[in-house]
Structure formats: C-alpha cells, structure tokens
C-alpha cells in the first residue's frame, strides 16, 4: 500500500495545537517605512517611500507603519503624502506616548497611531526617567484623545521582556479597559527566546481582551521563531520589514516570516498575499539602502531553490517536494539544478541533455558526467561550459568520434576554446 499522501510543505511531527493559536488568522504590520528607516544605510526620499508603500500594498500587507511625523518636517509631509495615495493597507504612524506627538500624528490623516513608551527599569532610569504611575496616567490621556478622534490605537511597552511582569500586566490591563485596539509587546534588544515569548503572550492573552501585536528584534537570531511562537499562543499582529532592515540587526524579514507561515498554512498565505511580488519589493528596498539581496535570503536569494548534490538533484528531478518545503512557482521563482561541479550526478546531467534535445543514451550521460567531475576538480564548470561539452559530444556521435573527443579534454579551458 502506498504511503498516505500529505501536504509536503508541512512537518510530519505534529506540534500541540493551542486554542489560542492565530497561525491561520494573523495580520502583518509592515514597518519598512518606520523601523526600516532606522537601518544604518537607510535614507528614503518621499518618492522612494511612495514606491515602497505601493509595492507593499500590491503584495497585500494589511498595515503600513510610518515614521513619526514628530521626527522631522519631512516625516510629517511624507505621512500626509502616503495617506493621500488611497492604498488598501491601513496607514499607521509610530509615536511616543506624548500628547504633542499624538496631536501632530492625527493631523496627517493616518488611520491609527502606534503609541510606545519604555517600561523596563533600564529605560525608566536611563531614558525617560518616569515611574509606572506616570506611564499609566500619560497613556490614559493619550489613548483617550486618539480614541476621541475615531482612530485605531495600539499601546506598546518598550523592552517588554526586561520589564517587571507585574508592572507590565497592570499597565496592559489598564489600557485594555480604555478600549485600545491592540496592546504590543516588544523584544527591543532581541533577548527573548520562543519559549519566553510563548509564556508572556499566553499570560497576556488571559489579561486583555484586545488584539496583541508583537515586535521582535533579531540580535540573537530568534525574530522569526519568536513571531511564530507569539502567533501560536494568541498574538494577532506581527511587525516585519523588507529584508529585516531596522535598528541594529533589525526585525523579522517579511520574506522569512512569509516562508514560515506558508509552511504552517500554505493555502491561507496564498489567499492573502500576492507572493510573486515579494522579489520586486525586496529589490526596491535593497537598491534604496545600497545592499544586495543576500545569496541565502529566504525565498528570493539565488541559492534558495538551487540544488547541487547529486543525490538531491536526482530526487528533485523525480519529485521537487523531496528537498523543497516551499514551491518556487508560488513565489514567481524557479529552481535550478547545478551540474558543473564535482558533486554532480548523471541524472542531473541527463535532465540537461533532455532540455537541450540531445540524443544521448544513459551510458553516454554517465560517461560525460565522469568527465565533468574530473574537470570540476580543477575548477567548477559554468552552465555554458557544460552545454558546450554536451553539444560537442552529441555532434561527434555522428562520426563515432565522441569518445575520443571526450578523452582529449583534460582541462575546463579546453571547453571554452572549442
């Protein structure tokens, strides 16, 4: 009896499913135009911000978060310009828990305000110098004002995972009673692990009735895993940025987060987001901040769907799901089987022979594969080198000189000179 067919994008190890889970019911707050502006190389002109906003809107993110209009006169004007685009995504701006900032933000016409204040002992002592009662009183004033303007409001602590848990929950309970749309937790320094995230979000879910937004920094490499753990345990919104750009090492990259969620519920993600647009928006942002899309970037890196080892290549050619958890075609990408190297296998070479329409037998393919391996011990062969070798071999079969020609090639450079 054949094995039971299952979705190849999902693990066969079933994790416990919590009734709190929102893995198949989440929203993205895309913060490239706020958190991303804090990236070391970032400087976005108004025109570039508009281009990025439109590209992210085409991709389908639910929210765009913009730099506070209190940051500068241009930031204020940029908020108004993006609000005026009439995008499908809701437009938010990120402001300090201060009435002056809130009033300025409301003037720009945004759909909502993301209000933040530091709550850890470090930030209370070395940043704003205020105690928890002052924070609650100020938050109350600011939140009531924003709500009186008919706008969405999220209230977030900063440095949540180094804050006193009792202080934190008392603060969240107080703002929840004021009717905020979301409370936010922020791993501002990237110190949290997925189990710590799960514990805090579960606890918070039992304290507040509103939505829960999460903002995770990637200093210790856990940002995507932390975002996933948060959704598993009751969070509803996750902050991302394109290529993960932001302060220091940034936050969950949009592409990496999408990859994780695709593996959890492929059909849900495909129904919500225009996945082939991911590469376009990443290229726009990479160009804007003067970096290259990394070779090993989630989904769009040039190695993401490249297969090299012979045993991998054979399996991929028979059934791509053997070594691909993500389907490249769902993202507008294509797979590539590298064959010009010492690890190549004859099945991969035969596949290339078929693509070129050459009439080589399996024995011929194995013979050429051995030659490729020998030559690749000197240096890797380009695809053009391999194609030329295969064509020369195939043409020489007409007069039965193919074996002699193959035996006469001792270096990759001889192929280039053919």
- To the query of whether residue 403 is one of the catalytic residues in this protein, the response is no
Catalytic residue among 215, 217, 307, 312: 312
Is the separation of the CB atoms in 344 and 374 below 8 Å? no
Task: List strand residue ranges (DSSP E) for 188-226, in order.
Answer: 211-216
CA 202/CA 196 separation, integer angstroms:
10
Secondary-structure percent of the chain, ordered helix, strand, coil, rounded to 5: 50, 10, 40
CA 221/CA 192 separation, integer angstroms:
10
Q: Mark 325-351 as b/e (b = at least 16 C-beta within 10 Å).
A: ebbbeebebebebbbbbeebbbbbbbb
Contacts of 386-393 with CB under 8 Å at 24 or more apart are 386/339, 386/340, 386/349, 386/352, 387/352, 387/356, 388/415, 388/416, 388/418, 389/415, 390/349, 390/352, 390/353, 390/356, 390/358, 390/360, 391/356, 391/358, 392/418, 393/360, 393/364, 393/368
Catalytic residues: 312
């Amino acid at each position: 009896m054949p094995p039971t067919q299952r979705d190849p994008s999902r693990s066969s190890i079933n994790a416990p499913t919590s009734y709190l889970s929102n893995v198949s019911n989440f929203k993205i707050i895309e913060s490239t135009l706020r958190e991303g502006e804090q990236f070391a190389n970032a400087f976005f002109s108004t025109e570039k911000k508009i281009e990025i906003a439109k590209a992210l809107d085409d991709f389908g993110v639910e929210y765009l978060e913009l730099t506070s209009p209190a940051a500068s006169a241009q930031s204020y004007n940029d908020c108004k310009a993006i609000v005026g685009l009439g995008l499908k995504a809701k437009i938010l701006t990120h402001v300090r828990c201060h009435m002056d900032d809130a009033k300025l933000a409301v003037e720009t016409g945004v759909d909502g305000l993301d209000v933040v204040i530091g709550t850890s002992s470090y930030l209370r002592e070395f940043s704003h110098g205020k105690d928890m009662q002052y924070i609650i009183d100020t938050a109350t004033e600011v939140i009531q004002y924003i709500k009186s303007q008919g706008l969405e409001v999220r209230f977030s602590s900063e440095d949540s995972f180094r804050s006193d848990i009792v202080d934190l929950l008392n603060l969240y309970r107080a703002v929840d009673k004021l009717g905020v749309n979301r409370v936010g937790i922020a791993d501002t320094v990237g110190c949290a692990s997925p189990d710590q995230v799960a514990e805090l979000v579960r606890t918070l879910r039992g304290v507040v009735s509103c939505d829960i937004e999460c903002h995770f920094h990637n200093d210790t490499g856990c940002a995507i895993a932390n975002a996933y753990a948060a959704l598993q345990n009751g969070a509803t919104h996750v902050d991302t940025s394109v290529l993960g750009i932001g302060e220091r090492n940034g936050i969950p990259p949009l592409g990496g987060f999408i990859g994780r969620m695709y593996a959890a519920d492929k059909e849900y993600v495909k129904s919500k987001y225009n996945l082939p647009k991911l590469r376009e928006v990443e290229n726009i942002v990479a160009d804007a901040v003067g970096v290259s899309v990394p070779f090993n970037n989630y989904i769009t890196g040039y190695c993401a769907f490249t297969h090299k080892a012979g045993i991998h290549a054979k399996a991929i050619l028979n059934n791509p799901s053997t070594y691909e958890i993500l389907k490249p075609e769902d993202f507008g990408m294509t797979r590539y089987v590298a064959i010009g190297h010492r690890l190549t296998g004859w099945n991969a070479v035969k596949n290339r022979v078929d693509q070129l329409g050459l009439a080589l037998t399996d024995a011929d393919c194995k013979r050429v594969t051995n030659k490729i391996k020998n030559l690749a011990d000197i240096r890797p062969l380009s695809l053009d080198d391999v194609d030329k070798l295969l064509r020369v071999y195939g043409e020489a079969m007409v007069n039965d000189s193919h074996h002699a020609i193959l035996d006469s090639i001792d270096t990759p450079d001889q192929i280039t000179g053919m």
